[in-house]
Chains A and B, each alone.
Chain A
Amino acid sequence: DADVTQTPRNRITKTGKRIMLECSQTKGHDRMYWYRQDPGLGLRLIYYSFDVKDINKGEISDGYSVSRQAQAKFSLSLESAIPNQTALYFCATSDPRDRYSPLYNEQFFGPGTRLTVL
C-alpha cells in the first residue's frame, strides 16, 4: 500500500467552486507539505505543517487554506477556484526526528492530484 495517498487523483471543476484535496499518510511523519507543480515552474510550496497545531504559509498561499485534522491527514482547500489554480498538486511528508538520519531531509511525495478549473 502507498505510504502517502491523495484523493481525488483527478478533478475538473468550475470557477468559483470550493474544492478540497485530501492527503493521508501511514509513515508516521509529523511534517506534511502541499506543493503545486506547473510546467516550467517546478514545485512551489503552498503550506506546510510541523504538527497538528502548527500550520505555516509557504511561498504561494494566497487563495488556498489547509486543515490538519490529525497527524496522518492534511487537506488543501480552494475556497473559490479560479482557472490559474489549474495545476498538479502534491502532498509530501518528512521526518524531522533525527537530524543525523538519512531520512531527515528526504521528502516523500504522494501521487498527485491533477486539478482543472474551467
Chain B
Amino acid sequence: GENVEQHPSTLSVQEGDSAVIKCTYSDSASNYFPWYKQELGKGPQLIIDIRSNVGEKKDQRIAVTLNKTAKHFSLHITETQPEDSAVYFCAASNPGGYQKVTFGTGTKLQVIP
C-alpha cells in the first residue's frame, strides 16, 4: 500500500519568513495530493491540493510543488503569520472507487512573532 513520509515533524520560523514542508510517497498510482491544516482543537481542513498532471499550484501565500519522477511534493508558505501556526498534514490519494487517502505524520509549525 501507499506510504507517505513527512518532514520535518516540527518547524519554527520567524514571522515573515518562509516555511517549507516536504513529503514523499511510494505508490506511483497516486495522483492527488492534498494538504490539510489542523488548528488547535479542530479537525483538519483542506488548504490546497495538487493533481499529478500539474507541477505547481499557488494560492496567495501558499504553494505546492510536485515531482512525480522523484515521488515527492512540498508545501511552501511565504510571509508567514502567527495564524499560520498549526499542524500540517500532507496526503496522497489514488482516487479510484474508494478514494483512499494516506496521510503523512504531520508537521507542527510555529510562527514566532
A binding-site residues for B, Cβ under 8 Å = 4, 31, 40-45, 48, 56, 59, 90, 92, 94, 96, 99, 104-107, 109-112
Asked if B49 and A42 sit within 8 Å, CB to CB, the answer is no
A-B contact pairs, 19 of them (CB 8 A): A40-B105, A40-B106, A42-B103, A42-B105, A42-B106, A43-B44, A43-B103, A48-B98, A59-B1, A90-B43, A96-B99, A104-B95, A105-B99, A107-B44, A109-B43, A109-B44, A111-B42, A111-B43, A112-B43
A47 CB to closest chain B CB (Å) equals: 12
Find out whether the CB atom of A94 lies under 8 angstroms from the CB atom of B99. yes
Are B45 and A109 in contact (CB-based, < 8 A)? yes
Q: Is B9 an interface residue (CB 8 A)?
A: yes
Which of B1, B36, B43, B99 is A31 in contact with, Cβ under 8 Å? B99
**Which residues of B pack against A, CB within 8 Å?**
1, 4, 6, 9, 32, 34, 36, 41-46, 49, 89, 93, 95, 98-101, 103-106
The 8 Å CB contact of B6, one of A42, A56, A109, A112, is A42
Chain B residues, CB < 8 A from A41:
105
- Bound-state CA distance A66–B46 (Å) is 25
B93 touches A105 (CB 8 A): yes
A105 touching B43 by the CB < 8 A rule? no
Which chain A positions have C-beta within 8 A of B105?
40-42
A4–B99 touching, CB < 8 Å: no
